[in-house]
Structure 1
Amino acid sequence: MNARFVPTALLLGNFVIGTSIMAPAGMLNELSRDLGVGIGQTSLLVTLGAAVLCLCSPLLSWATSRMDRRKLLCVILLVVIVTHLVSTLTTSFAAVLLLRLVMLAAAAPFTPQAAAVVGLIAPVERRSSTIAYVFLGWSLAAAAGLPLMTAIASRFGWQYGFVVIAIMAAVSCALLAWRLPPKLHTPAVDLKAWGDLFRNRLVQVLLFITILQMSGQFVIFTFIGPLLAHFTQADPNGIGIAFALYGIGGFLGNVAATQVVGGLGAFRTSLLSTLSVGTGIAIWAASAGHYVWMVAGIFVWGLGFAAANSMQQARLVAAAPAQAGSAVALNTSALYTGQAIGSAIGSALFVQAHYLATGYVAVAIMIVALAFIARSRHA
């Protein structure tokens, strides 16, 4: 077996999962128009989806911990394929929402289990670098997958975007079925470990920081397309460029963070990354109505978003090294909790036409996140 090909197949799987989770943010206008519902209601595809991911990520990681990893990952991708294809056959918002929630419930354990598989197949000395390689799939989903979905939806319709996701999922499923060894089993998830983590004060603070970081960003992120169109009359090409710069910034920022964290440490790198996110959102808010400056703010924001998440993972592992897997699973739930809260706040502001307020509310939440990061040094 080609040892490097399995991580590549897992990277592609993460790319598919990441793109499918983020896709509605890039096609919110098209979904709203074709399904006959308002932007606020359409955003439930993100808000309720994040809530499902939050609940199902730890629960399904526990419930499926004894399954063969190859079967589990392939079944997840098969659900992604079927739900996206069936969604293209309906014009009912309720049906699309239901199918998406089913898909996300199934997809929730994919990324944690992909990381667990790396722990089984990669040599100890290459494990960290291999995990980082597999997680590039998420950065690429933001840098390439989301702009691709925006471009396809604006030109051909959101249904074609869903078909492309299904095709990519089929390729990933085939590669994993072909290359991933059978009968791979990870240690069963111990629920007691989660209880121990919840009693760890530093872990509590770090999980709360993750919720704040994601809440602040998703007040705006879900509505980037409609807000850019409102403030600057940006067309689909302009919105696609904004998403591309966000993803490119995330990729570059994450690479830079891995280079400097050894010298600065995870705490300082986390602080700088979150400061970049807050600064970018502040630029966005202050320059509302000026496309170039708003997009510049998105790029600065992007430089910090992936790096901030990576540093949170690193700090959690350092806080509870014996329970690293459980800590990462809980942080994944915190990520999705923040997404749900931020999207709900953003939706409430958007439907009331408080468009300008979204940016300033997001900035306020990021300031609180920075304060808690500073406090976490002494936790």
Structure 2
Amino acid sequence: MPLPLYLLAVAVFATGTSEFMLAGLLPDIATDLDVSVGAAGLLTSAFAVGMIIGAPLMAALARRWPARASLLGFVLVFAATHVVGALTTSFPVLLVTRVVAALANAGFLAVALSTAGTLVASDRKGRALAVLLSGTTVATIAGVPGGALLGTVLGWRATFWAIALLCLPAAFGVVKGIPARVGAAPRATAAGSSLRDEIAQLAMPALVLVMLLGALVNAATFATFTFLAPIVTETAGLGELWVPVVLVLFGVGSFVGVTVAGRLSDQRPGIVIAVGGPLLLLGWVALAALAAQPVALLLLVFVQGALSFALGSTLIARVLYAAAGAPTMGGSYATAALNLGAAGGPVAAAAALASGAGHLGPVLVSGLLVAVALLVALPLRRFVAPHVAQAVR
């Protein structure tokens, strides 16, 4: 894999850390800015909505710019929003910065995903995607716990400053690592790809199908990931110090899963889907049944992290393949699928909690979402991925 991909992964690490870090900072933010914790939770929702809307919007705006200029601009805007967020004493201003940061993040990821496909051979998009997503998995391993620790010791504003500073080497990497003309939209336009043509790709059933499946699997992942803390402390009866340990285990598993799947998702996606999908479903069922056993919980969290990201990254790679006719917008379709799941999964999990299902409600939601994905995917397996029909026989 070319060096520029790893430099892009550094930026994805910074943006991923920012996206997930608020979970441990909301009480302090609420106290400092004199709002309720519930109101502070709007910061997370605003970021998710900004990501969903921002992916296609920012990709469309940036499609006529060279990839390096787009990526650099998005990183610098992302850094600036965190500087403003660290300085403000106004909750509405902080809320606006999260929306703008999400738009910049969505634009960066959409362009990065499209650019990644131009940096490698046409049949290695899955491996390129795995390198990019490794930035997100490392964020869950080190960035989020590190941000929570920094916020505990120095206050939540210090975490915002840290994210802004982390964007600087990412910006340097973009300038030095991405060739000036790689992924430039004028080249795609010259080949006959207009914005209308690229948007029209969304009418393709195969593209819609893999976007739906990717969103469902990612929703299942974040439904349980978002509410792991009460499962650890209430269901398993472990102390609060075990919560970051479990989150790190999930992150390590996700890194392993996305790395292994990256080596299979290009040539043998059917194996990952046909084997990983049922195993993922069984894993959620096992977690719901065994979550009260600490050892089983720790093992299953690692396994589910690996299976979730292996299957999810493979499906998102299929989005890039299915959107080959949208060279500048395909990355935004993949980003939108990811974030529809990331936003919808926790909402469904919260509803399960409120319905009286208890702390294991989110796990049941995760299992249900994966089951729906499998029921959709298996009958239509020939449209999901090449060779998947043979893989499931």
- The two structures share one fold, judged by TM-score above 0.5: yes
Partner of 1:237: 241
Pairing 1:22-33 to 2, within 5 Å after superposition? 22-28=20-26, 30-31=28-29
Letter in 2 for 1:340: A
Q: Which of 57, 66, 69 is 2:67 aligned to?
A: 69
Q: Which of 141, 144, 147 is 1:143 aligned to?
A: 141
CA gap of 1:377–1:63, structure 2 versus 1, over 3 A, is same
Partner of 1:297: 300
Q: Which of 358, 362, 371 is 2:362 aligned to?
A: 358
Letter in 2 for 1:81: A
SS in 1 for 2:82: helix
Deviation string, structure 1 residues 340-370 (Cα, Å, up to 9, x no partner): 2222223344567743322222222221122
CA gap of 1:28–1:342, structure 2 versus 1, over 3 A, is farther
State the distance in 2 between where 1:190 and 1:25 align. 40
Partner of 1:286: 289
- Number of corresponding residues: 376
**In the alignment, is the contact (CA less than 8 A) between 2:17 and 2:143 conserved in 1?**
yes
Pairing 1:193-208 to 2, within 5 Å after superposition? 193-208=197-212
Letter in 2 for 1:341: G
Shift of 1:299: 1.1
**In the alignment, is the contact (CA less than 8 A) between 1:15 and 1:145 conserved in 2?**
yes
SS in 1 for 2:52: helix
SS in 2 for 1:218: helix
Aligned-pair identity in percent equals 24
State the distance in 1 between where 2:321 and 2:176 align. 35
Partner of 1:222: 226
Deviation string, structure 1 residues 307-355 (Cα, Å, up to 9, x no partner): 1122113333454544465444213212211222222223344567743
Q: Under a length normalisation based on structure 2, what TM-score does the superposition of the two structures give? A: 0.82
**In the alignment, is the contact (CA less than 8 A) between 2:125 and 2:317 conserved in 1?**
no
Shift of 1:248: 0.8
Q: Which runs of 5+ in 1 are unaligned?
A: none
State the distance in 2 between where 1:67 and 1:225 align. 43
**In the alignment, is the contact (CA less than 8 A) between 2:199 and 2:326 conserved in 1?**
no
Bigger mean CA deviation after superposition, 13-22 or 313-322: 313-322
Letter in 2 for 1:80: F
Pairing 1:1-379 to 2, within 5 Å after superposition? 5-28=3-26, 30-31=28-29, 41-90=39-88, 92-119=90-117, 132-182=130-180, 185-186=184-185, 187-188=188-189, 190-232=194-236, 234-235=238-239, 237-261=241-265, 265-319=268-322, 321-323=324-326, 326-350=329-353, 354-379=358-383
State the distance in 1 between where 2:283 and 2:154 align. 31
Deviation string, structure 1 residues 119-171 (Cα, Å, up to 9, x no partner): 55567798775554344323322333223223333444333222221111122
SS in 1 for 2:64: coil
**In the alignment, is the contact (CA less than 8 A) between 1:11 and 1:135 conserved in 2?**
yes
Q: Which runs of 5+ in 2 are unaligned?
A: 384-393
Shift of 1:104: 0.5
Shift of 1:226: 4.7
CA gap of 1:330–1:178, structure 2 versus 1, over 3 A, is closer
Q: Under a length normalisation based on structure 1, what TM-score does the superposition of the two structures give? A: 0.84
**In the alignment, is the contact (CA less than 8 A) between 1:47 and 1:341 conserved in 2?**
no
For the aligned residue pairs, the C-alpha RMSD in angstroms reads 3.2
Shift of 1:220: 2.4
State the distance in 2 between where 1:213 and 1:96 align. 31
